[in-house]
């Protein structure tokens, strides 16, 4: 895999009753004590919201820098995964959710400290662990190896192999049945701090002709952070170990649905002065104009060459274990509503997607062909 597409990260409020039933079964009889390493950003916020709605208690462990205003009543333990774990010592929880482990040393240290007093260690990994995307991957596919096993430099080449090493560190301490490993695909939805999926409804909300990549039939894979949260809690409540890819199944979603739903949501919710209209430009034309998949055109990677299997990762095991995938329409609309409520400076400085002047130039060039 060209690791430029690595999935590293760089709450919307819902009614409690609706949330609690997200897992498709009643809230558990036994409230669980959960520790979240991280917790105050994107996926941690959704996990917290659902866990509280289902009657569990949550403790955050972090440095106290990110979103300090969110969930003010939750117990917060202050520390640092790089050398200051003192606040965790001697405490007991039913399960730990590790959202913020990027280096095997960090996971080894927390797992070793917590193992005697915490039954389950759930590590949030990534589908970026796979050695390549030449063909479709499932959980048995080989994972990437580090050129230098001692490296702690996180970049596009090392992110995936380091996450694979983190998985092994959790399993080495907890064993494969008490460790749960989740490998999400691109995580999307409200509170996403990467702006990749958000680019599409946000772009449609600006109105006018918008560049759309490849063909409407091009497959994409995503996971709504709320569906990820529901699956995470399902594994914990049912005490399930093992390794699971967590993303929409291959062929379920296509670029056309993302663009069409973004346009429909924009017209209804944002009401731009000029109606948004998609102009589909073929992959080879975009390549000739140096428009990059994933960064300029987020979420989209053409299924060819060494990325032929990028949008074909199996979700079968997680689906059998109860993963549910909400309709694209819901994710797009909730993301757009959240985006429109952000401070103006954030809305105007999206971290992903082609800039508008360049988009106009690419469209003009495509029209002239």
Q: Which stretch binds ligand NAP (CB under 6 A): 60-68, 140-148, 212-220, 281-289?
A: 60-68
Q: Which of 59, 62, 171, 331 binds ligand NAP (CB under 6 A)?
A: 62
Q: What angle do CA 311, 316, 320 make, to 5 degrees?
A: 150
Size, binding site for ligand NAP by CB under 6 A: 26
Q: Which of 5, 54, 56, 81 binds ligand NAP (CB under 6 A)?
A: 81
Q: Which of 38, 160, 161, 250 binds ligand NAP (CB under 6 A)?
A: 38
Q: Which of 23, 53, 186, 204 binds ligand NAP (CB under 6 A)?
A: 186
Min separation Cβ 73 and ligand NAP, Å: 16
- Under the binding rule (CB under 6 A), the answer on residue 158 touching ligand NAP is no
- Under the binding rule (CB under 6 A), the answer on residue 354 touching ligand NAP is no
- Under the binding rule (CB under 6 A), the answer on residue 156 touching ligand NAP is no
- Between 8 and 292, name the residue whose CB sits nearer to ligand NAP: 8
Site string for ligand NAP, 93-132 (x = CB under 6 A): ------xx-----------------------x-x------
- Between 7 and 366, name the residue whose CB sits nearer to ligand NAP: 7
- Under the binding rule (CB under 6 A), the answer on residue 194 touching ligand NAP is yes
Min separation Cβ 38 and ligand NAP, Å: 3
Given the rule CB under 6 A, which residues bind ligand NAP?
Answer: 7-9, 38-44, 62-66, 80-82, 99-100, 124, 126, 184, 186-187, 194
């Amino acid at each position: 895999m060209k690791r430029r597409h690595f999935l590293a990260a760089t709450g919307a409020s819902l009614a409690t009753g609706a949330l609690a039933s997200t897992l498709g079964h009643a809230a558990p009889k036994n409230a669980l004590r959960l520790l979240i390493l991280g917790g105050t950003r994107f996926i941690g916020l959704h996990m917290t919201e659902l866990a509280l709605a289902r009657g569990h208690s949550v403790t955050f462990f972090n440095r106290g820098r990110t979103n300090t205003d969110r969930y003010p009543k939750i117990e917060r333990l202050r520390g640092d995964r790089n050398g200051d774990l003192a606040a965790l010592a001697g405490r007991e929880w039913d399960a730990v959710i590790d959202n913020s482990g990027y280096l095997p040393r960090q996971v080894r240290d927390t797992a070793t400290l917590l193992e005697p007093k915490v039954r389950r260690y759930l590590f949030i990994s990534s589908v970026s662990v796979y050695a390549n995307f030449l063909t479709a991957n499932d959980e048995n596919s080989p994972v990437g190896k580090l050129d230098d096993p001692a490296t702690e430099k996180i970049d596009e080449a090392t992110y995936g192999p380091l996450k694979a090493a983190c998985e092994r560190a959790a399993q080495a301490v907890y064993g494969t049945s008490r460790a749960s490993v989740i490998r999400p695909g691109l995580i999307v939805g409200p509170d996403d701090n990467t702006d990749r999926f958000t680019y599409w409804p946000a772009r449609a909300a600006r109105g006018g002709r918008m560049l759309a990549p490849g063909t409407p039939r091009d497959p994409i894979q995503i996971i709504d952070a709320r569906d990820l949260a529901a699956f995470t809690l399902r594994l914990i409540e049912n005490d399930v170990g093992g390794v699971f890819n967590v993303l929409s199944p291959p062929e379920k979603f296509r670029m056309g649905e993302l663009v069409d739903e973004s346009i429909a949501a924009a017209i209804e919710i944002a009401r731009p002065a000029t109606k948004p209209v998609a102009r589909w430009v073929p992959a080879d034309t975009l390549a000739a104009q140096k428009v990059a998949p994933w960064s300029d055109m987020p979420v989209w990677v053409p299924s060819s060459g060494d990325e032929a299997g990028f949008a074909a990762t199996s979700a079968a095991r997680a689906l059998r274990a109860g993963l549910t995938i909400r309709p694209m329409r819901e994710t797009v609309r909730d993301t757009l509503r959240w985006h429109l409520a952000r401070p103006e400076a954030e809305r105007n400085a999206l971290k992903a997607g082609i800039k508008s002047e360049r988009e106009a130039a690419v469209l003009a060039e495509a029209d002239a062909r």
